[in-house]
Amino acid sequence: MSRRSLSMQLVMDSSSDDDDDDFLLSVTHVAMNADESDDETRHRGSILGHRVLRRDRQAGHHRLYQDYFSDDPTYGHSYFRRRFRMRRTLFVRIWNAVEQHDQYFVQKRNAAGIHGLSSLQKITAAFRMLTYGVAANATDDYVRIGESTAIESLRRFVSAVVEVFGDEYLRSPNEDDTTRLLAIGENRGFPGMLGSIDCMHWRWKNCPSAWQGMYTGHVHEPTIILEAVADKDLWIWHAFFGMPGSHNDINVLHRSSLFARLAEGQAPEVNYTINNNEYTMGYYLADGIYPSWATFVKTIPEPQGNKKKYFAAAQEACRKDVERAFGVLQARFAIVRGPARFWDEDTLGQIMRACVIMHNMIVEDERDEEDDLSFDGVGEKVKISHDGTPELEEFIKNYKNIKDKEIHNQLQDDLIEHLWQHHPDLYK
């Protein structure tokens, strides 16, 4: 029986199901071409039986450019902001920086002299996966990009974002930042406050079976934890990602570097006075699971009396900043709201960090400068405590001061009185 007869018999065989039709048609095409010429013995395409798609990449690029990036786009700025989660000027800034950083995104010609995918197509495919949380092959019909190329583009894009923008948009608060955060805290009735802290779980759908016990906690499915500190503007100042979901917030805290600079004496100075009591360390608003350290201010579970009830309401209202930041982060980048589909932790870590960086870039780009709090008259600009490396005894002393429970209790009492005396109507 000839190849043509065998192929036609396979296609016409009623025992084959619909899922095999594309494969059989590809085999038939190869077999028929092989019969047409004795010299043509090699299969076409990179994989035997794999159907080669003519995607018309150039038409895909021109359509994408006309829809969003031309001088007179089909979809204006409001559509762009909704679909790309940021303004076009910010997207173009990221696009140019990533293209200059990684040659993978530079458009090239293949051996036949045909243009490959443009950087705009690759970055748009990565953005669609990040913002909509869709599978890689869901971007093919519009962007005209293959599944494997879309996945590779996503990996390289998030790595480039972290490498290019990480130092600026994932930095710890510097002297200017700390001064501004202290001014915001003072204005809200919490002198010395640097933000709010909490943890978020990201479900890991494709967690390897051997690791699922380690990554499964109270969520009852594998997750990876993000510890973050956010301020009123929802800027995320601290992001520690990668701890297995079986840990609680205290375990994550002990492994993060949140207080490393403070213990080493490299953090900006924070000096303030409440009820004639002087304090030298800033603090974060936290929920009840966090330890009673001098650097945390927690709510009162069952407050008794008007002063404590008012303090609890004020603390819980301000602590929602970090919860709002998590909600906005997940709304802007649906990939961190849905289940993670990648298999390796490194890629997931780069995705999370890139989303946090772009979230901060959007906050900076869309911040209303007119409503931004001016801190010129709040006090002197803070400075680093000292430039040298502390001795071991000094390091141990700083670490003990961070964990001082007596200061924690005193600070809470002073804040209760301060809010009642100076901000009686702010949270009513």
Domain match, 136 and 261 both: no
What are the C-alpha distances in Å from 366 to residues 51, 221, 235, 332?
46, 36, 12, 14
Query: For residue 12, what pLDDT band results from cuts at 50, 70 and 90?
Result: very low
- Domain membership of residue 141 (yes or no) is yes
User: What is the domain extent for residue 139?
Assistant: 57-168
∠ CA 71-75-77 to the nearest 5 degrees? 75
Domain match, 316 and 359 both: yes
Is the predicted pLDDT of residue 123 greater than 80, yes or no? yes
Domain match, 213 and 342 both: yes
- Residue 272 has phi, psi (to 5 degrees) of -155, 165
pLDDT at 19: 42
- Domain membership of residue 36 (yes or no) is yes
- Domain membership of residue 427 (yes or no) is no
- Domain membership of residue 428 (yes or no) is no
Domain match, 12 and 125 both: no
- Domain membership of residue 27 (yes or no) is yes
Report pTM: 0.84
Domain match, 153 and 31 both: no
* Residue of 31, 44, 37 whose CA lies nearest to 3: 31
pLDDT at 382: 55
Q: Decide which of 117, 142, 168 is a domain's last residue.
A: 168
Domain match, 72 and 47 both: no
Give percent of the chain above pLDDT 70. Answer: 84
pLDDT digits over 240-277, tens only?
999 999 999 999 999 999 999 888 888 898 999 999 99
pLDDT digits over 365-376, tens only?
998 754 444 434
Please provide the average confidence, as pLDDT, over all residues in the chain. 86
Domain match, 263 and 382 both: yes
Domain match, 45 and 114 both: no
Dihedral sign (CA 143, 144, 148, 149):
negative
Say which residue, 56 or 252, is predicted with more confidence. 252
Query: For residue 428, what pLDDT band results from cuts at 50, 70 and 90?
Result: confident
Q: Decide which of 52, 68, 91 is a domain's last residue.
A: 52
Q: Decide which of 109, 144, 168 is a domain's last residue.
A: 168
Domain match, 157 and 23 both: no
Domain match, 261 and 388 both: yes
* Residue of 168, 140, 245 whose CA lies nearest to 203: 245
| Single-letter amino acid code for the residue at 295 | T
- Domain membership of residue 196 (yes or no) is yes
pLDDT at 46: 61
Domain match, 216 and 196 both: yes
Average pLDDT over residues 50-56: 76
**Interatomic CA distance for residues 68 and 48, integer angstroms:** 38
- Domain membership of residue 395 (yes or no) is yes
276, 260 contact by CB (below 8 A): no
Domain match, 230 and 345 both: yes
pLDDT at 98: 97
| Single-letter amino acid code for the residue at 419 | L
pLDDT digits over 274-292, tens only?
999 999 999 999 999 999 9
50, 110 contact by CB (below 8 A): no
Query: For residue 91, what pLDDT band results from cuts at 50, 70 and 90?
Result: very high
- Domain membership of residue 233 (yes or no) is yes
Is the predicted pLDDT of residue 110 greater than 90, yes or no? no
